[in-house]
Amino acid sequence: MKYTDYYAALGVERNATKAEIKQAYRKLAHKYHPDISKDKDGESKFKEIAEAYRTLKDDEKRAEYDQLGVHKAGEEFSPRGDFSRQYEDADASFSDVDMADLMAAFAAARQGGAQGHGQGQARQQRPWPGQDFEIEEPVTLEQVYTGAEIDVSISVPEHDEHGLAHRVPRKFRVKVPKGAADGQRLRLPGKGGQGLHGGKPGDLYIVMRVLPHPLYRVDGKELFMDLPLAPWEAVLGASVKIPTLGGTVEMRVPPGTINGRQLRLAKRGLPGPDETMGNLHVVVRIEVPKEVTAQQRELYEKLAAEAGFNPRTHFDKFQRGST
């Protein structure tokens, strides 16, 4: 079992008072709590902080934890003292046991019976529900458009015959619903942590994270994409092929199209949960060639001379002489 230094996680001394522990936890929780922090590693940091606080704020748990002795963070060790006495004769293995799971198992055991853990069968009575888990899974826009099956992997604690929790890999195949949105959850009932003593298993929540797409930007069911046009296409109009999630479509760009104009392709966006389709909005972006040949330059100059087009006529009334 790998040692986790709960005191170091909270940044307090081993003899810290309860008030100091609480203060340290609150400070770190504000910084890393996944519901309020934008730190990309916030969730895993908070998990460690919360686990440390759960243990150290409780006198009984803290005493159990302190019995493990002082080790370096991440160091392999075997529990000793009262903490593991009940498992010694049972030849239990701690090698793949997560410390948080072990602490949770002891908490469950302690609350399961009136006499506390290590007191025989009395603690085996009360049902203890399994833990819920939440994981993030990346999904593509294409998967959201059509609906798709994805495989998700997770390791969940399962209790052996001694009541010790071991992490067991599980793999589930689930359907990403057509029209799912970024951040929405799928609930897999009963696929979380195992319950104890007849307690209900926990649920698994999958947070769908829609990956950024190189072409499309998402706003609910509406999709947006840029349409680069050559200046002559914008002036003269053009027929362009637009790749949509449902296949390529031909779109007519009207003559005189200006930069930034939005053209709408109806029902070419994303499906909603109610099966209605959003639209695809094409945002015109007029591009100019970075390099021109001498002949092209001559043509542009001829065009400039002949066009008589001044896009800045509205500047005239603001001109106050030049410097």
Partner 1 sequence: MTSKMPRQAPETVAAVWLNETQFCTLDDLAQLSGLSLAELKDLISVGVIEAKSTDDDHVIFQQHYVVVARTAKRLRDDFELDHHGLAVAVHLLQRIQELEGQLSSAQAQLMHGRLSSDAAGDA
Q: Pick the binder of partner 1 from 262, 302, 303, 304 (CB under 8 A).
A: 262
The verdict on 47 binding partner 1 (CB under 8 A) reads no
The verdict on 96 binding partner 1 (CB under 8 A) reads no
Q: Which stretch binds partner 1 (CB under 8 A): 78-86, 105-113, 253-261, 301-309?
A: 253-261
CA 19 vs. chain centroid, Å, equals 33
Smallest gap from Cβ 33 to partner 1, in A, equals 6
Q: Indicate the burial class of 70 (C-beta count within 10 angstroms; 0-12, 13-18, 19 or more).
A: exposed
The verdict on 29 binding partner 1 (CB under 8 A) reads yes
Integer Cα distance of 267 and 222 in angstroms: 9
The verdict on 220 binding partner 1 (CB under 8 A) reads yes
* Amino acid of residue 107: A
The verdict on 261 binding partner 1 (CB under 8 A) reads yes
The verdict on 100 binding partner 1 (CB under 8 A) reads no
The verdict on 59 binding partner 1 (CB under 8 A) reads no
Q: What is the DSSP letter of 258?
A: P
Integer Cα distance of 117 and 107 in angstroms: 8
Which has the closest alpha carbon to 154: 175, 139, 137?
A: 137
- DSSP-assigned states of every residue in 110-167: HHHSTT-TTSGGGGG-S-BPPPPEEEEEEE-HHHHHH-EEEEEEEEEEEE-TTS-EEE
Q: 311 and 304 in contact (C-beta within 8 Å)?
A: no
Output 46 or 106, the one with its CB closest to partner 1: 46
Nearest 5°: the CA angle 251, 257, 263 is: 45
For residue 251, how many other CB atoms are within 10 A of its CB?
18
Smallest gap from Cβ 298 to partner 1, in A, equals 26
Q: Which stretch binds partner 1 (CB under 8 A): 99-107, 108-116, 154-162, 280-288?
A: 280-288
The verdict on 187 binding partner 1 (CB under 8 A) reads yes
Residue 248 tokens, joined: 């390529």
The verdict on 172 binding partner 1 (CB under 8 A) reads yes
Q: Which stretch binds partner 1 (CB under 8 A): 97-105, 203-211, 243-251, 298-306?
A: 203-211
Output 67 or 259, the one with its CB closest to partner 1: 259
Residue with tokens 């799912």: 180
Smallest gap from Cβ 191 to partner 1, in A, equals 6
The verdict on 123 binding partner 1 (CB under 8 A) reads no
Distances in Å between the Cα of 294 and the Cα atoms of 7, 136, 304 are: 73, 55, 15
Output 1 or 218, the one with its CB closest to partner 1: 218
Smallest gap from Cβ 52 to partner 1, in A, equals 13
Integer Cα distance of 209 and 199 in angstroms: 31
Q: Pick the binder of partner 1 from 142, 160, 219, 301 (CB under 8 A).
A: 219
The verdict on 169 binding partner 1 (CB under 8 A) reads yes
Residues interacting with partner 1, by CB under 8 A? 26, 29, 33, 35-36, 46, 50, 132, 151, 169-175, 177, 180-181, 184-189, 191, 203, 205-206, 217-220, 222, 224, 226, 258-262, 273-274, 281, 283-286
